[in-house]
Amino acid sequence: MRIMGLDVGSKTVGVAVSDPLLLTAQSLEIVRRKSENKLRQTYARIEELAQQYEVEKFVVGLPKNMNATEGERAEKSREFADALFRRTGIEVVLWDERLTTVAADKTMMEAGIRRENRKEYVDAIAASYILQGYLDFLRNQEETADRNQV
């Protein structure tokens, strides 16, 4: 089983995938589109990647405000997630993505990637942060359940 993480933006979708053991997230690619409402090719590419990697669940980043409220971008992410589920039939989980883009940008800065080149990678790296957060959550739940059974 693999899980795919998606960082949905107005013109791009960062894509990451887990390893089969659900331990780590790896950035795959950035799906680009000409306008926010042109999603057919975006869904088709995500569906293609999901089949290729035998994905059984999607984790879509939900961009909440720092005070935990949701704005227009969160609504767009919810709409994207609903449409993805209708198209693929694969479970979709929404995951709080606060500060993932900031963390991705910081990681690239520390790696010495020039500012003008960071935009090229930030969405895919943010998708891997979203997915890794979810994988860590799953692992923590399992460990807590194991401790409670002892």
Structure-model confidence comparison of residues 48 and 110, the more confident one: 48
Give the model's pLDDT for residue 55.
98
Give the model's pLDDT for residue 104.
67
For range 93-100, the mean pLDDT = 80
For residue 80, count other CB atoms closer than 10 A to its CB.
Answer: 22
Give the model's pLDDT for residue 51.
97
Given a cut of 70, whether residue 71 has pLDDT beyond it is: yes
State both tokens at 35.
Answer: 């306008």
Give the model's pLDDT for residue 103.
63
Give the model's pLDDT for residue 105.
65
Delimit the domains of the chain by residue range. 2-119
For range 22-34, the mean pLDDT = 92
Rounded Cα distance, 103 and 122, in Å: 9
For range 15-34, the mean pLDDT = 93
Q: How far is CA 27 from the centre of its chain?
A: 9
pLDDT digits (tens, 9 = 90+) for 75-84: 999 999 999 9
Given a cut of 70, whether residue 101 has pLDDT beyond it is: no
**Sign for the pseudo-dihedral over CA of 58, 67, 136, 16:** positive
Give domain 2-119's CATH architecture: 2-Layer Sandwich (3.30)
State both tokens at 107.
Answer: 């990681």
Given a cut of 70, whether residue 139 has pLDDT beyond it is: yes
